[in-house]
Each structure stands twice: as C-alpha cells, then as structure tokens.
Amino acid sequence: MTVIGGSMLDAVKALPEHLRDALWRIESARASTMEAPAAFVCGMGGSAIGGDLAVAALADRLTKPMIVARGYELPSWAPAGSAVLCSSYSGNTEETLACYAAAEALGAQRLVATTGGELAEAARTDGVPVIGLPAGLQPRAAVGYMFCVASELAALALAGPRINTEIDAAASRLTERRERIEAKATHLAEEIGDAVPVIYGGDLTAPVAYRWKTEINENAKLPAFWNFLPEADHNEIEGWSGSTDPAFAAIFLEDRDQHPRERKRFELTANVIEPHARAVIRLETDGETRTERVLEAVMLGDLISVYLAQAQGVDPLPVEGIEAFKRELGRPERQ
C-alpha cells in the first residue's frame, strides 16, 4: 500500500511503504552505472535531506566523496565526469534547475528524481535517466523516496555498496514497530509542550537533528533550532548561560556508533544546559543497521512534528509561507 495524498500524518506513517515503492521505482528506471570521481546530490529542503541521511547511513562505507549541494551551483572543485543527482519533488525548484544546467556544463553524468515539472521535461529532452516519484505528497513527506534515490546514486557512482537489502529490512522493522514509534512520539511531543526545541545530533544523528528542526518548522509552523556535537561545545554552550527565562527544550539524539568521547560530550553538554532549559530530553536511536536507526529516528521526529501541529491546532500539510515566498521571488529571468 502506498499512501498518496491524504493527511501529513498518513504520509509520515507510510514511510515503510514509501521505501518499498522507492526501491521498485529505482529498479524500473534502470539507470546505468557511472564510473565517477565524486557524487553530488543537488536539491533543496525536503528534496535535499535524503542526501544527507544517505551519506550518514553509508558513512565509512563510502569510498568517494558524496556531497549534498544546496544552492545554484556545484562546488568550484567538482570534477568533470562527476555523478550528479538532481532531486526536486516538484521539478520546478530554481536552484536545482540551475544545478542541472551547471552539471551539464561540467560534463557530469546526470540522474534526475522528480514527479515532473521543468526538470522532468529537460531530462527527457536530454536523455537523462529519470526516477519517477509519485505525485500527491508534500516534498518533505517524500523523504523515504529521496533517501533511497540518494543511496542508489552512491551505488551507481561506485561510491558505496547498494543498501537495498538494508532499506527493505528497515521498512519491515518500521512496519512492525509503527505503533510503538507513534506512542513514543506522542509522549515526546507532550514533553516538549510549548517550549522551543533545540535539537542536538552528532555523526549519524546530525542530519536527523536537522530533519527534526525543519519538520517542526514546516509541520507545526514553529521555530526550532539544531546543532551538532562536538561543534556546539565550542560555541553554543556558552550562549545557554544567558538563558534566564528558559523557553527552550534541549533534545539530544545519540547513537550507539558515536565516538566514545562524543558520548561523554553528550552527557556533559546535557548537564551544562539543564539549569537553563525548560526540559532536557535524551534519546538513543534504535535498530541494528545505521539505515534502520536513521530511518526510525526520522519517522519519530516527523511524527513529533505532526503531534506538535495538532497540539497547536494547525494543519501540518500546507506551507503557505514557503509558497508565498516563492511567488514573491518570482521566476528567474534565465536559468
């Protein structure tokens, strides 16, 4: 069952089905292997985060650089012949369209993931392989698809192993644990209450912390912030000492694979922040493989954001602020 349309809650709960459908769509696209010096995922927002999550899941199994490029350009040092995935749910995001053109100028080997729009049109004209995504979701709810597509890019570019079996196992596990994850999310949303969440990750959980922040922004329409350790210990902890009216809830996302010194840092950082925060919440990811752990942590955060939206009495689905901003910006004169 693939849930398309409907509520944000339905879409978030359908993550396991999205993962399985994504694997099938990737196989159907029959994209060829690309012998490439580096791999790039170009995209914005909900279409970019899958790249960060895939890089985190693959971690030291990556044998070549795999970079997520958010913006209008590829890095100046991007080698010719790189494998470039242009990922845009709508197919109309100007930054991603600009990267698609920049990738051609670089002599890159391109791959596209989209539901349609200008990106699909250009790719079809240029003979670039397209992994077709199902329409009817909010781009951020297609995170499972974007994760799978970015993982496939690593395999196609011979930058890492193909992790389809891991993804499939993660999907089964998420189906099995769905109710437990929902219950945990309900409890955590209550614990956060009306505090402003500040989410800390590290290593595997750094992009997860960022995902939680953006999901709370877009679904609950609330401010939320994130950072990662060890970096935050070198600057942000100092700022907490000035938080005299604690409005923030600090959330720490830990993982069993983290460096032992990082574990100690999480502990100490939580202690430093505690007197200045409304709540300190410490969590550890669950699952055997990194893929299982990253995906379950994403689903947990996505659910929390929807429950925070419900508590606010707002519909998590529309993002009128983002849409209005895109309208105000207008179309670029030339791509």
Nearest to 251 by CA among 279, 223, 217: 279
CB of 121 to ligand F6R, least distance (A): 14
Which of 283, 25, 238, 269 has its CA nearest to residue 147?
Answer: 25
Q: Which of residues 229-258 bind ligand F6R (CB under 6 A)?
A: none
Q: Which residues 6+ apart lie within 8 Å of 2 measured at CB?
A: 14, 17, 18, 21, 134
Residue 93 as a binder of ligand F6R (CB under 6 A): the answer is yes
Residue 140 binds ligand F6R (CB under 6 A): yes
* Residues 116/134, Cβ–Cβ less than 8 Å: no
Pairing of strands 39-42, 225-228: unpaired
User: Edge-to-edge strand order for the sheet containing 39-42?
Assistant: 66-69, 39-42, 83-88, 109-114, 130-132
Near ligand F6R by CB under 6 A, which window of 45-53, 190-198, 199-207, 282-290?
A: 45-53
Tell me if 108 contacts ligand F6R by CB under 6 A. no
By the rule CB under 6 A, 220 interacts with ligand F6R = no
Q: Which range binds ligand F6R by CB under 6 A, 18-26, 136-144, 163-171, 251-259?
A: 136-144
Residue 88 interacts with ligand F6R (CB under 6 A)? yes
Phi, psi of 225 (to 5 degrees): -135, 165
Cβ 266 to ligand F6R, closest distance in Å?
28
Interface with ligand F6R (CB under 6 A), residue from 3, 74, 96, 295 = 96
Q: At 107, is the secondary structure helix, strand, or coil?
A: coil
Kindly calculate the radius of gyration of the chain based on its CA atoms and give it in whole angstroms.
20
Task: Report how far residue 21's alpha carbon sits from residue 14's, in angstroms, rounded to the nearest whole number.
Answer: 11
The yes-or-no answer on residue 326 being catalytic is: yes
**139 lines the binding site for ligand F6R (CB under 6 A):** yes
Chain position carrying tokens 């700022």:
239
CA 229 → CA 51, 78, 199, 211, 223, distances in Å?
Answer: 20, 28, 11, 16, 21
Stretch that binds ligand F6R, among 135-143, 171-179, 257-265, 272-280 (CB under 6 A): 135-143
* Stretch in the footprint of ligand F6R (CB under 6 A) among 21-29, 39-47, 63-71, 261-269: 39-47
Q: Which residue among the candidates 95, 152, 215, 218 is catalytic per the annotation? A: 218
Distances (CA, A) of 290 to 133, 156, 186, 269, 301: 25, 20, 24, 24, 16
Closest to ligand F6R by CB, 40 or 240: 40
Residue closer to ligand F6R (CB basis): 13 or 140? 140
Report in angstroms how near the CB of residue 74 gets to ligand F6R at its nearest. 17
Q: Which is nearer to ligand F6R, 140 or 290 (CB)?
A: 140
Cβ closest to ligand F6R, residue 139 vs residue 202: 139
Reported in sequence order, the residue ranges of the chain that DSSP labels E, i.e. its strands, are 39-42, 66-69, 83-88, 109-114, 130-132, 196-201, 225-228, 248-254, 279-284
Two tokens, residue 335: 């791509």
- Using CB under 6 A, which of the segments 38-46, 72-80, 182-190, 191-199 binds ligand F6R? 38-46
CB of 6 to ligand F6R, least distance (A): 15
- Compose the 47-86 pattern: x for residues touching ligand F6R by CB under 6 A, - for all others: x---------------------------------------
Q: Which residue is nearest to ligand F6R (CB)?
A: 45
Rounded least distance, CB 240 to ligand F6R, Å: 29
Residue owning tokens 């707002």? 314
**CA dist 53 to 46, 144, 196, 205, 293, Å?**
11, 10, 24, 9, 11
Q: Does 316 bind ligand F6R (CB under 6 A)?
A: no
Binding site for ligand F6R (CB under 6 A): 44-47, 88-90, 93, 96, 138-140, 218, 319, 322
